[in-house]
């Protein structure tokens, strides 16, 4: 990299321990390429509202709005997100510039006393505020009581350790990134607990008119992950998905063929779990997007109730 290509960069990030780890990880990678990089820590609405589920207070966009304001005002140049927290359509003027290599996309079963979901006694209390996890847990163990669980990762673990829950379900990626893998009693097979679209992947957001940032971030991108999560997010977008929809989507790219699975469930249990799968050769983001849209159509044909697709 020549000196003229080196950029002074500010990363907007939430201030939770996991979000800071993610931002510092990107900071280190960019510094290694010669850029000067600092962090702008921020508290989002999603971090502040802890007494209600995200589906009732505005959705996952609550975790990114303040960061986007910082980008728009020029106080920061890039924002690092857990991709599963990023709305399916970004506001006008913003772009997803980079998707990085994915960590473990699976969900993790965490409990101080029980080794697995199967080992829980009847009526045990399992904590999660994810509608996706709720419907999948109900399908596996309808006898369990699913209780709301909000807060950052450390807060959720503290509530578990205080005895408020018999077990909780968390993303394996966050635990592993913070060196807390010893808290994982078991990792769910994706056939049982299908992950959320984009789970385990990091996305970097910029203002869409910053070509210089696109070029600077290009070396951090992981094409296989980007293709896979594009298909997953296309399922959710075509279903009109948000955190108010109990929807899962997970893909695997094997020798140029993307294998995509999705599931939709009814939170009140009045409709059975709907699953759909398909495989197709995928070489471009447009190919991946088309596969995701096709899977969404299969879910709807199977009885899944979507919303009007998000415009964009």
Report the catalytic residues: 85
The secondary structure element, H or E, covering residue 296 is helix 285-301
CA distance 196 to 171: 9
CA distance 9 to 14: 16
Q: Which residues pair with 275 in a beta bridge?
A: 263
Angle value at C-alpha 153, between 232 and 183, nearest 5 degrees: 95
The sheet with strand 247-254 has its strands ordered as: 247-254, 257-264, 274-281
CA distance 159 to 129: 13
Sign of CA dihedral 91, 105, 132, 18: negative
CA distances from 225 to 99, 191, 230, 285, 311 (A): 7, 19, 8, 11, 24
């Amino acid at each position: 990299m020549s000196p003229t290509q080196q950029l002074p960069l500010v990363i907007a990030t939430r201030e939770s321990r996991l979000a800071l780890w993610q931002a510092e990880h990107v900071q280190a990678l960019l510094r290694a390429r010669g850029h000067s990089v600092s962090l702008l820590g921020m508290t989002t609405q999603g971090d502040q509202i802890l007494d209600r589920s995200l589906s009732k207070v505005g959705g996952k966009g609550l975790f990114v709005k303040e960061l986007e304001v910082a980008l728009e005002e020029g106080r920061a140049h890039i924002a690092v997100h857990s991709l599963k927290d990023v709305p399916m359509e970004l506001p006008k003027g913003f772009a997803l510039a980079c998707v990085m290599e994915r960590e473990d996309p699976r969900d993790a079963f965490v409990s101080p006393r029980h080794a697995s979901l199967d080992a829980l006694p009847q009526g045990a209390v399992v904590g999660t505020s994810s509608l996706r996890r709720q419907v999948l847990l109900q399908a596996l163990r309808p006898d369990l009581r699913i209780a709301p669980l909000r807060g950052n990762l450390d807060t959720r673990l503290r509530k578990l350790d205080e005895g408020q829950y018999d077990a909780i379900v968390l993303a394996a990626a966050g635990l592993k990134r913070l060196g807390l893998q010893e808290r994982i009693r078991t990792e769910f097979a994706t056939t049982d607990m299908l992950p959320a679209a984009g789970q385990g992947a990091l996305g970097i957001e910029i203002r869409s008119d910053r070509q210089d940032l696109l070029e600077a971030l290009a070396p951090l991108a992981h094409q296989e992950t980007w293709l896979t999560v594009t298909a997953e997010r296309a399922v959710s977008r075509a279903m009109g998905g948000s955190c108010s929809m109990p929807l899962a989507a997970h893909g695997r790219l094997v020798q140029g063929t993307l294998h995509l699975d999705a599931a939709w469930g009814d939170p009140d249990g009045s409709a059975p779990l709907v699953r759909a799968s398909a495989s197709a050769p995928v070489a471009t983001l447009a190919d991946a997007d088309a596969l995701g849209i096709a899977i969404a159509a299969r879910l709807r044909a199977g009885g899944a109730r979507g919303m009007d697709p998000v415009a964009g």
